[in-house]
Structure 1
């Protein structure tokens, strides 16, 4: 879609004062998908040259905000990552075309803060931490689970940039279980839940996304029983926090959240006893 209110596109490598009507441009799959009458200038991140995926000496993985879905999918995951299948599961949850895969970015998916954003699901479940850079150069770090605050809302301040998301080595070493539900065979996620189990201490975490307006994370010292898990979800997700749109009513999303959570708990429990 032509953005007929945009009068300038600037290279992000050229520093300039942030103005009202500015927006960061990465893949552009959202920006160019619908009218943006409030925008006057796009700050293009396409030539920043940030490495899409950068392994750290301690085993962590840094994902640049400009990393595309295709690059994330193609990245060779080390054999010692039990969490490796989760990357492809979340990439496939986009249900997007080849063109979207090669343009849509991890950072864009997080910043759009849509409940069904699968990069939010992936990075929140693996303890991702966002590195945010202000116009002054000041840097702050915010966990992904706190970065998204509601449907279409996040903690970014005007002009602030999401530079990268870091996944710690310990989270990458966890076993995972993935569940997704949609009203349609190729529809947007109405519920997307991820469970992780830490082999070192037996701790269990459940991340609820898509059915809720923000990521909801539940942590247990050990794998809970069915009743404890249900109570935990009921306490963590308020009645008004289940998303409501054409892709699913809140009552259905709540039902699927409890159902998929129990499936995840059983899957990880069965693996633990093998």
Structure 2
């Protein structure tokens, strides 16, 4: 879609004062999908040259905000980590066209903050941490599970940039289990639940996305009993936090979330 109110595109490598009507441009798959009448200038991140994905010396994984879904998928195929299959499962949860697959970015998926965003699911489940940079250069970090605060809402301040997401080595070494449901064969995720079990300290976690307006991450010191998991999940999600749109009623999303949570608890613990 043409953004006919945009009168300028600026290269992000050449800083300039942020002003009303500015927006960061990465893949642009959401930005160009619907009218944006409030925009006047786009700040293009496409030539920043950030390394899409890199392993750190401590075994952690840094994913640049500009990393595309296709780049992440290719990298994960050669990733020697127990959690590697989860990357492809979440990438495929896009059910996207070839064009979207090669243009959409990890950072864009997080910043759009849609409940069904599978990069939110992936990075929240692996206890990811976002690096945010303000217009005056101040850096701060926040967990992915706290970055998204509601449907279409996140913690970015005006002009603040999501630079990267870091996944810790301990999470990459953990076992994972993935469950997803949609009302349609090729439809948007209505429920996406991920379980993780970290070998270093035996901690166990459940991450709920798509069925809720924000990521819900429950962490336990070890595999929980069925009743303990159910009570924790019931307490963590308020009645008005079950998402409601044409891709699923809140009652259905809640039912499937609890069902998948128990399936994951049994399957992941038995491995």
Tell me which interval the TM-score lies in, with the shorter structure as reference length. over 0.9
- Shift of residue 79, structure 1, vs aligned partner: 5.8
SS of the residue corresponding to residue 75 of structure 1 reads: helix
- Shift of residue 76, structure 1, vs aligned partner: 4.5
Q: Quick one: distance in 2 between partners of 1:79 and 1:109?
A: 22
Aligned to 1:71: 71
Cα 1:78–1:60, aligned 2, differ >3 Å: closer, same or farther?
A: farther
Aligned to 1:229: 229
* RMSD, aligned α-carbons: 0.9
Aligned to 1:163: 163
Kept in 1, the 8 Å contact 2:203–2:221? The answer is yes
- Shift of residue 226, structure 1, vs aligned partner: 1.2
Alignment of 1:213-224 (within 5 A): 213-224=213-224
Q: Quick one: distance in 2 between partners of 1:202 and 1:259?
A: 23
- Shift of residue 241, structure 1, vs aligned partner: 0.4
Kept in 2, the 8 Å contact 1:179–1:260? The answer is yes
Aligned to 1:153: 153
Q: Quick one: distance in 2 between partners of 1:175 and 1:110?
A: 24
- Shift of residue 28, structure 1, vs aligned partner: 0.4
Aligned to 1:107: 107
Kept in 2, the 8 Å contact 1:129–1:143? The answer is yes
Kept in 2, the 8 Å contact 1:188–1:247? The answer is yes
Q: Quick one: distance in 2 between partners of 1:126 and 1:154?
A: 19
- Shift of residue 201, structure 1, vs aligned partner: 2.4
The yes-or-no answer on 1:94 pairing with 2:94 is yes
Q: Quick one: distance in 2 between partners of 1:246 and 1:166?
A: 33
The yes-or-no answer on 1:129 pairing with 2:129 is yes
Aligned to 1:27: 27
Q: Deviations over 1:79-100 (max 9, x none)?
A: 6411000000000000000110
Moved over 6 A (4+): none
Count of residue correspondences: 271
Aligned to 1:176: 176
SS of the residue corresponding to residue 180 of structure 1 reads: strand
Q: Quick one: distance in 1 between partners of 2:259 and 2:143?
A: 27
Q: Quick one: distance in 2 between partners of 1:67 and 1:201?
A: 31
TM-score by length of 2: 0.98
Q: Deviations over 1:189-225 (max 9, x none)?
A: 0010000001222211000000000000101111011
Q: Quick one: distance in 2 between partners of 1:231 and 1:91?
A: 30
SS of the residue corresponding to residue 99 of structure 1 reads: helix
Q: Which runs of 5+ in 2 are unaligned?
A: none
